[in-house]
């Protein structure tokens, strides 16, 4: 049985995902803040509109050091976003329930500030709100070592 997600106060797990461009590390501070859109393979069609919204604003998200990543189970989708697939164990460690997809936004050190599961994608925050999260995370003070109000990200 896969290991369940660590307590909420923990960082994203130090997992590696495989993508067409090679290995992708979730915790890589030099690469920016991960914005993980985890989409079950059978939900890819329902997620098309949301994925398209992220793709259309990709430059804006990257301006705030966002690193949007589309993660699927097996089928790596065609997208302007970086893409990867993840094992069932990785989905469980991230706390995503069976049959659900999720959006997770973390700072560049992997501390999660926003997480939400979905089956419809219509209930996820707008891309403008995702950009607001990235703007907030990009302006935090890493020198003080204190997290400024991270969200409760239990999925």
Full-model pTM: 0.85
Q: What is the pLDDT of residue 8?
A: 44
Q: Mark 51-82 as b/e (b = at least 16 C-beta within 10 Å).
A: beebeebbeebeebbbbbbbbbbeebbebebb
Please name the residues in contact with 98: beta carbons below 8 A apart, sequence gap of 6 or more. none
* In the chain, where the domains are located: 36-138
- Per-residue model confidence as pLDDT tens digits over 139-151: 876 666 555 555 5
- Per-residue model confidence as pLDDT tens digits over 93-114: 999 999 999 999 998 888 888 9
Q: What is the mean pLDDT of the chain?
A: 85
Residue 23 sits at the vertex; the CA angle it makes with 83 and 8, to the nearest 5 degrees, is 75
Residue 22 — very low, low, confident or very high, per pLDDT cuts 50/70/90? confident
């Amino acid at each position: 049985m896969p290991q369940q997600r660590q307590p909420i106060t923990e960082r994203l797990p130090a997992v590696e995902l495989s993508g067409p461009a090679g290995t992708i590390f979730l915790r890589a501070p030099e690469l920016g803040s991960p914005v993980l859109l985890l989409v079950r393979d059978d939900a890819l069609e329902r997620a098309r509109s949301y994925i398209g919204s992220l793709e259309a604003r990709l430059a804006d998200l990257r301006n705030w050091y966002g690193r949007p990543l589309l993660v699927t189970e097996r089928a790596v989708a065609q997208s302007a976003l970086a893409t990867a697939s993840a094992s069932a164990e990785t989905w469980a460690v991230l706390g995503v329930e069976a049959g659900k997809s999720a959006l997770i936004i973390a700072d560049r050190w992997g501390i999660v500030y926003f997480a939400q599961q979905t089956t419809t994608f219509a209930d996820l925050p707008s891309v403008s709100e995702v950009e607001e999260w990235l703007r907030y995370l990009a302006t935090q003070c890493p020198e003080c070592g204190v997290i400024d109000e991270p969200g409760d990200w239990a999925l």
